[in-house]
Chains A and B, each alone.
Chain A
Amino acid sequence: MFSDLSAQKEGSSLLCRPASEVQGPVFERMPPTYSPCSERYTFKERSFSRQYAHIYAARLMQMRPLLSERAQQKWGSDVLIRKLCDLQTAEQCCIVGTFFKRMDLQPSILKEISEEHNLLPQPARAKFISETDELILEDELQRIKLEGKIDRDKCVTGSIIAIYGAERNDGKFTVEDFCTADLPLQTARPALSSDRFVLLASGLGLGSIHADSMLGLQLLVDMVTGQLGDQGEQSGAATISRVLLAGNLLSPSTQDKDASTKAKYLTKKTQAGSVEAIRLLDELLLQLAASVSVDVMPGQYDPTNYTLPQQPLHRCMFPLSSVYPTLQLVSNPYQANVDGVRFLGTSGQNVSDIQRYSSMDSHLEILEETLRLRHLAPTAPDTLGCYPFYQKDPFILEECPHVYFSGNAPTFESKLIKGADGQEVLLVTVPEFSSTQTACLVNLRTLECEPVRFSAFSADDDEESEMNISH
């Protein structure tokens, strides 16, 4: 554990006379071997003159052979895998296709602008599921309604699945069993000799009206750069080889929607809220980049494109810190190999979108579900904005990561899951720093994760509370 590491060293504690030599011991940070693998998420040409049918077709084309294999493994190699057009009534067979969940409460632009109904726009809801939802399976040519042993509320539109059952007389398909593509193969990670840590943080929320988390942020930066604590703590901090900021570096209050609708003469002299926030972020990154490698992923409220995959933030916004080669501005989703350990993750938009359209509430459960479906964001492009890919669907997981994370979760959770072919994946939901003041440390040697809390004085604390950096 990280805390044990710092406590073990018997370096002089803070309660002793200052050392006589001018400079104390210097702790070297081991640079990790790093190779980014996110080329598939950054693109050069951007053509929006295409429909989204291509991405669904490519997704089904890519996943059909995988699912046929899984179906044969699960239900015997002689199971009939049929296309929907070849279905015969009351024949036990397996069908492979894309889920579509028809939800009445799903916000629809057509309903909103429909003049006949004269409806008011729908109020914002937390979940759009209801009792009247219908689950439909679609393949290349047809679609069929599904009923039976399948939990309709847990499924989301866009997931590719294999279903075993039979078609009934009334045209609906009765589900007896189903299977997902499950985890892809994983390359074994190398055994490391010493403990190395990667710090994951997200939801820094800079530029907000309440600057509650600034003290926590500064403590975090000081801890990582080794300016905090005695020599034991400092040598512990030297084992942190990389910092990953997973999105929402700016707070949602920097997104001023009124600016576009207000008259020009009112907004001329005012600056966008995000300008000041980016300046704060640049100064923060300057402190971090001077000491440790930092990867910065954009999030929902950051100044980059809205559709997934979000492109890296532009380096012209960071004049002070982009001089350092340790600062990497990366895309969302992000994939990289750090010391042979493969990290894959997003800033949380895919997870919160699935949360809105299914009955699952725990971010960790949803994260596991996306891994088992072998797809990062099944709801894209239906309810989650996405670029119209045509050749391949880049969100399909081709290789199993060792650490799979998603940012901006309400709480910190982590779990180690094992796959059928010996894969080992650490799932981490990185909490939002602006509300929880918690970051996570992942140990690359043992694949364990622990939270680090930087709670400080809170405004309504009556009794004296000490600043406590608890592990």
Chain B
Amino acid sequence: MTTKHGLITDSFKVVKKARREGKRQKRPTPPPPQKEGDSDPVREEELQKLLKFDLDWRFGPCTGISRLQRWERAKLHGLNPPEEIRDLLLQTLTDPEYKHSLWREYPL
């Protein structure tokens, strides 16, 4: 309720602070850059093969599941995925670069 004597803002002027640019959205951090100088050519070749398997449209989407799970699914539905991929994956079960798909570093 206002008094007859005036508002407090008559004696103390309102000073609006310059509004900061709207809170900047936290963008998801991009994955760290790949290690350079991976000298093992066999490993490079194997990873290339797995990359091709990931990008092959016949076996369905590759994100969110491990490569072995995707291979099993393709086998289940009779799509004849190459056996050598499976052998390669079973040999390198612990290496995350082999196990998960190309997009493993990105969230959903």
Give the interface of A toward B (CB within 8 A).
49-51, 53-54, 57-58, 61-62, 65, 140-141, 390-392
15 contacts between A and B (CB under 8 A): A50-B65, A51-B64, A51-B108, A53-B63, A54-B60, A54-B61, A57-B60, A58-B73, A58-B77, A65-B78, A141-B57, A391-B69, A391-B72, A391-B73, A392-B76
B58 within 8 A of A: yes
CA of A132 to CA of B65, assembled, Å: 38
B79 within 8 A of A: yes
For B63, the chain A residues whose CB sits under 8 A away are 50-51, 53
Interface string of B59-98 (1 = CB under 8 A from A): 0110111000100110011110000000000000000000
Contact A53/B61 with A62-B77, A65-B78 known, Cβ cut-off 8 Å: yes
CA of A390 to CA of B61, assembled, Å: 9
Least CB separation from B70: chain A residue: A390
Q: Is the CB of B58 within 8 A of A140?
A: yes
Q: Is the CB of B65 within 8 A of A54?
A: yes
A390 touches which of B58, B64, B79 (Cβ 8 Å): B64
Least CB separation from B77: chain A residue: A61
13 new A-B contacts at CB < 8 Å, known A49-B64, A57-B60, A61-B60: A49-B108, A51-B61, A51-B108, A54-B64, A61-B73, A61-B79, A62-B77, A140-B58, A390-B69, A390-B73, A391-B72, A392-B73, A392-B76
CA of A39 to CA of B53, assembled, Å: 31
For B65, the chain A residues whose CB sits under 8 A away are 50, 54, 390
Distance in Å: Cβ of B10 to nearest Cβ of chain A: 36
For A62, the chain B residues whose CB sits under 8 A away are 77
CA of A58 to CA of B60, assembled, Å: 8
For B108, the chain A residues whose CB sits under 8 A away are 49-51
Distance in Å: Cβ of A138 to nearest Cβ of chain B: 13
CA of A244 to CA of B73, assembled, Å: 35
Distance in Å: Cβ of A58 to nearest Cβ of chain B: 7
Q: Is the CB of B69 within 8 A of A57?
A: no
Q: Is the interface of B mostly helix, strand, loop or mixed?
A: loop
A391 touches which of B57, B61, B76, B79 (Cβ 8 Å): B76
CA of A49 to CA of B65, assembled, Å: 9
Number of interface residues of B (CB under 8 A): 15
Q: Is the CB of A140 within 8 A of B76?
A: no
CA of A51 to CA of B108, assembled, Å: 7
For A54, the chain B residues whose CB sits under 8 A away are 60-61, 64-65
Distance in Å: Cβ of B107 to nearest Cβ of chain A: 8
CA of A65 to CA of B76, assembled, Å: 13
For A140, the chain B residues whose CB sits under 8 A away are 57-58, 60
For B72, the chain A residues whose CB sits under 8 A away are 391
Contact A57/B79 with A390-B73, A391-B72 known, Cβ cut-off 8 Å: no
CA of A428 to CA of B24, assembled, Å: 56
CA of A392 to CA of B76, assembled, Å: 9
For A51, the chain B residues whose CB sits under 8 A away are 61, 63-64, 108
For B69, the chain A residues whose CB sits under 8 A away are 390-391
Interface string of B33-66 (1 = CB under 8 A from A): 0000000000000000000000001101101110
For A61, the chain B residues whose CB sits under 8 A away are 60, 73, 77, 79
CA of A51 to CA of B64, assembled, Å: 7
For A65, the chain B residues whose CB sits under 8 A away are 78
For A58, the chain B residues whose CB sits under 8 A away are 60, 73, 77
4 tightest CB-CB pairs across the interface, nearest first? A57-B60, A50-B64, A61-B77, A53-B61
CA of A53 to CA of B61, assembled, Å: 7
CA of A391 to CA of B64, assembled, Å: 12
Distance in Å: Cβ of B106 to nearest Cβ of chain A: 12
Least CB separation from A390: chain B residue: B65
Distance in Å: Cβ of A416 to nearest Cβ of chain B: 34
Distance in Å: Cβ of A231 to nearest Cβ of chain B: 56
For A390, the chain B residues whose CB sits under 8 A away are 64-65, 69, 73
Distance in Å: Cβ of B46 to nearest Cβ of chain A: 24
Distance in Å: Cβ of B105 to nearest Cβ of chain A: 13
CA of A49 to CA of B103, assembled, Å: 13
For A53, the chain B residues whose CB sits under 8 A away are 60-61, 63
A58, A61, A392: residue with the most chain B Cβ atoms closer than 10 Å: A61
CA of A58 to CA of B69, assembled, Å: 13
CA of A392 to CA of B74, assembled, Å: 10
For B76, the chain A residues whose CB sits under 8 A away are 391-392
B61 touches which of A57, A141, A392 (Cβ 8 Å): A57
Distance in Å: Cβ of A91 to nearest Cβ of chain B: 23
Distance in Å: Cβ of A161 to nearest Cβ of chain B: 19
B58, B61, B76, B108: residue with the most chain A Cβ atoms closer than 10 Å: B61
Distance in Å: Cβ of A67 to nearest Cβ of chain B: 14
Least CB separation from A388: chain B residue: B64
For B78, the chain A residues whose CB sits under 8 A away are 65
For B64, the chain A residues whose CB sits under 8 A away are 49-51, 54, 390
Distance in Å: Cβ of B26 to nearest Cβ of chain A: 18
